[in-house]
Structure 1
Amino acid sequence: MITSRFRITLCASLIFASQISAAESTSKEVISDGPYIDVHASALTVNWICNDQVKRKQVNLEGVSLPYGFTDCGLTANTSQLTFDKQLIEFQGVKRVAALSDLHGQYDLMLTLLKNNGIINAQNQWAFGDGHFVITGDIFDRGDKVTEILWFIHDLEKQAEQAGGKIHLLLGNHEVMVLNGDLRYLHPKYVKAEKLLETPFDQLFNQDTILGRWLRSKPVLVKINDHLYAHGGFHPQLAEDKVTLDTINKTFKSHLVEKELPKKREGFARYLHKTHGPIWYRGYFKDDGATAEELDLLLKHFDVNHIVVGHTSQKKIETRFKGKVIAIDSSIKRGKYGEVLFIENGKHERGTLEGKRKPLMK
């Protein structure tokens, strides 16, 4: 008879063996990745990989005017700024909102989903006008086109602003993990990339890089009209303690990367970065999680009617608590399917991968 302990050990061994096999397979594959752009006082250092070959060049800032565009080996990047302001977290009077979550490196599927649902056009340019587009975190890990998604959203963000719209990229647990050097979910491609670049993956997004600075400017939550968005959610204790959204965001962000702090996180900052914090909380999906009364307390405290979260995977966009919680992690990470939530004129709809609008059932 096989004991439970032996089964667990055997399963763990098989999983570990499959991970090694995947890493070995990718290490034999030729990869291209980047660019990773470091900012210096008078120049940019651009690093990328083209067909397993590391490429580097210096761009003299005195001789180039922003925006700066990069194109090489099928890789592209455009940036119009080298520093980034902290983002606002409350908006009212927004007429149209779209939201999705947990892209996890699935660049091609993301493009298909956004094109078919009118967020971008056939040329991959912003097409959502003055609408607001929320991404509740987790671009990093699992998939093999993380860098492509980051630069795409970085560029699309500026296009949206020029059209009177807005993109709200929120931090998910995988962004925070990578920034803090927790690389356990890296796709094997990026394990190879960091070896070729001779730089730990998290250091490719340090404070002296464009993408690193950009990510550090992003909030962990946003409130638009009567909807509150976060990657994981909000523990009822936050409402009981009457903690404001501003306090949650500022405390979380000021303790974002622990190795960049004078000392380790403690107290409320530590609480926010753990299981009950906004990037990890799963209490809306557990039998022993938040109760209906506790959820109503949260909604009343934050003065919203709905909380919109990713993090916990569903087959499609679904609701909990009679539509008060909307779960938008539609398992894009598997690379097969995904959906976009649309909110307009008080109506909620699911945008399917094919671009069909379907009602969101409570």
Structure 2
Amino acid sequence: DLCYANPTYARTASVSDKDYADHFSEKTVLGNWLRSKPVIITIDDIMFVHGGISDEMVQRKMDVRKINRIFTEKIIGLNLHKINESEHFRLLHGKHGPLWYRGYFHDPLFCENSIDRILDFYGMKHIVVGHTPNVTINSLFNNKVIGADTGICDGRSGEILIYKDGDFYQSLSTGRRNKL
């Protein structure tokens, strides 16, 4: 899905006579580098994931190792039509998967009980996500979800999320820090 890709990347792919996904195959430097990186990282009791973790992933008992393994071995570099052939692939690459999920911010039915179920399943206390630009770093559900995307790709100055001594801080371009 190139709708969020910088137009330069789409043009580069079209000039190369290769499908965009081919640039991420196991035969490329970029593809091999991506395969060496996890989709989800956990540090102590904090989970870091681009989009988020949905209830659907918990219902299907998709643990972090399994998710990372499926992405590394089977999803990265595949064409979308191949991804759509498998239910697990559709879930992980779709709107309820770790790359695209935005339910914390956009689903009016998502509540603190929902995030508690997710955190309990994974043994975490916090989830830090990007992917959904906000004007400022924000926290939801008593700091259980931290939205760290401040729209720097849209030309905003951006902010930095700092975690120190068990607390999260929003750091502004002025150098000022605000505890979340």
Instruction: Assess if the C-alpha contact under 8 Å between 1:236 and 1:290 holds in 2.
Output: no
How far apart are residue 277 of structure 1 and its match?
0.8
The amino acid that maps onto 2:44 is N
Alpha-carbon offset, residue 355 of structure 1: 3.1
TM-score by length of 1: 0.44
Cα 1:204–1:315 shift into 2, 3 Å: same
Which of these two proteins has the greater Rg computed from alpha carbons? 1
What fraction of aligned residue pairs are identical, expressed as a percent?
35
Alpha carbons of 1:216 and 1:310: their partners in 2 closer, same or farther (altered >3 Å)?
A: same
Match for residue 96 of structure 2? 276
> What is the alpha-carbon distance in structure 1 between the residues aligned to residue 83 and residue 149 of structure 2?
34
- Unaligned 5+ segments in structure 2 are none
Q: Kindly state the Cα deviation for residue 338 of structure 1 after the two structures are TM-superposed.
A: 0.6
Which protein has the bigger strand share? 1
Task: Tell me if the contact between 1:255 and 1:261 (Cα under 8 Å) persists in the aligned partners.
Answer: no
Give the match's secondary structure for 2:99.
coil
Note if contact 2:150-2:156 (Cα within 8 Å) is conserved in structure 1: no
Q: Which residue matches 1:209?
A: 28
Distance 2:97 2:83 in 1: 20
SS at match of 1:255: helix
Pairing 1:346–2:170 present = no
Unmatched runs of 5 consecutive residues or more in structure 1: 1-181
Choose from 103, 113, 123 the match for 1:303. 123
Tell me the distance in 2 between the aligned counterparts of 1:196 and 1:242. 42
In the TM superposition, what is the alpha-carbon distance from 1:335 to its structure 2 partner?
1.7
Name the counterpart of 1:320.
140
Correspondence for 1:248 = 67
Q: Counterparts of 1:337 and 1:276 in 2: how far apart (Å)? A: 29
Give the TM-score normalised by the residue count of structure 2. 0.84
2:8 to 189, 212, 218: 189
5 Å matches for 1:50-89? none
How far the C-alpha of 1:202 sits from its partner, in A, is 4.5
How many residues are paired up?
Answer: 179
2-structure distance, mates of 1:310, 1:329: 5
C-alpha contact 2:21 2:78 (8 A) present in aligned 1: no
Give the Cα–Cα distance (whole angstroms) in 2 for the partners of residues 185 and 282 of structure 1: 15
Structure 1, residues 267-317: CA drift from partner, whole Å, max 9, x if none?
A: 222211111111111111134342211211111111111111111111110
Partner of 2:48: 229
**1:356 counterpart (172, 176, 179):** 176
Q: Distance in 2 between matches of 1:241 and 1:299?
A: 15
Could you tell me which amino acid in structure 1 is paired with residue 106 of structure 2? K
CA RMSD of aligned residues (A): 2.7
Give yes or no for contact 1:316–1:339 (8 Å, CA) kept in 2: yes
Q: 1:266 maps to what in 2?
A: 86
- The secondary structure found in structure 2 opposite 1:348 is strand
Whole-angstrom CA distance in 1 between matches of 2:178 and 2:56:
35
